[in-house]
Amino acid sequence: MKAVVFDNELKLVKDYKKPVPQKGEALVRVTLGGICNTDYEITKGYMGYVGVLGHEAVGVVEEINDDDQSLLGKRVVSEISYGCHDPNCRYCAEKLYRHCPNRHTLGIWKKDGCFAEYFTMPVEVLFEVPENVTDEQAVFVEPLAAACEITEQLHIKPFEKVVVLGDGKLGLITALTLKAQNIDVLLVGKHQNKLDIAKAQGVETILLQDLKVEKIYDVVVEATGSISGFETALALTKPRGTLVLKSTVAASKEFNLAPIVIDEITVLGSRCGQFGPALRLLEGNKVDLKPLISATYNVDDAIEAFEKNKEKDTLKVLLKF
């Protein structure tokens, strides 16, 4: 089968071995995949991963090695991690597979990804896609679920002021998700054309250069992935407010954490999320993510697609199988 593989270099392999579903697993034929910044980081050495890339995809179940055959022939999306299922593993008991110390993560850690004609995952982490949700929408379920995770972790009161920093894919999806959950949110970014995507769906937006930086926000979501963004987020969070970190910030310089102590700020790390709530948002047409699609490439042009993903104005690049 065709597969996009990273093995010290990014390449398209046309004769990669087709996976065989183990007990409890399903074989999924991929129809559409989405390139994530994590995929790009892996090509620079992140996680030391070698294998098939990709963790955002939608496809059709063609085979199931399990007594439960209910998903056979169904269109599905897959959570990215599965756990060890050790009876003593509290994370697996709570289905928090992403925190299992012995987890496997699709296209990131110990598990070939979904940028291939086929991939396998345990049936328990597969979710059927509602009929009215297109492949182009369904391919966004993983990052959409990550955005939904904020309100699973944190109760945002109706009167609280919320701001999201960053107008990349993560910031846009987060702002659109919060808006879809009836939360008043302000999205701050540097690119008017990207802010306009959120504005068209009712999100209040402002350019960073026009933002008055003052400590008046109850909840600040940092989605820039930069030190300057983190510093701005701190400067916006009111005393006893909450700073939500949705992006990993790699420190390239010293920065002052004293305001966290002085203002008694709660810092909340927020990562992956549950697929169920994300799929319900799409099924109910609460959020439209198609405007984030910058380009779609055939898998045969996967290397070109990764180059497109590097461009500054690019949001989401899809791979068609």
State pLDDT tens for residues 25-67: 999 999 999 999 889 989 988 888 999 999 999 999 999 999 9
Q: Which residues contact 281 (CB under 8 A, 6 or more apart)?
A: 144, 148, 177, 180, 287
Q: Rounded to the nearest 5°, which phi and psi values hold at 250?
A: -90, 115
* Alpha carbons 297 and 46: distance in angstroms, whole number: 24
pLDDT (0 to 100) of residue 252:
56
* Alpha carbons 243 and 57: distance in angstroms, whole number: 30
Sites in the chain below the pLDDT cut of 50? none
Residue 102 is classified by DSSP as T
- Which parts of 190-274 fold into alpha helices (H)? 192-199, 227-236, 258-262
Average pLDDT, the chain: 94
pLDDT (0 to 100) of residue 204:
98
The burial class, CB within 10 Å (0-12 / 13-18 / 19+), for 313 is exposed
pLDDT (0 to 100) of residue 251:
53
* Alpha carbons 45 and 130: distance in angstroms, whole number: 36
Residue 276 host element (H or E): helix 275-283
Q: Which residues contact 143 (CB under 8 A, 6 or more apart)?
A: 36, 56, 169, 170, 173
Q: Whats the size of the chain, residue-wise? A: 321
Q: Rounded to the nearest 5°, which phi and psi values hold at 110?
A: 60, 20
* Alpha carbons 4 and 125: distance in angstroms, whole number: 23
pLDDT (0 to 100) of residue 249:
61
pLDDT (0 to 100) of residue 21:
97
Dump pLDDT digits (tens) for 234-260. 999 999 999 999 987 655 567 778 889
Backbone CA torsion sign across 268, 274, 280, 286: positive
Inter-CA distances, 96 with 81, 90, 185, Å: 9, 8, 28
* Alpha carbons 37 and 43: distance in angstroms, whole number: 10
Q: Which residue is associated with the tokens 């090509």? A: 43
Is residue 132 within 8 Å of residue 111, measured between CB atoms? no
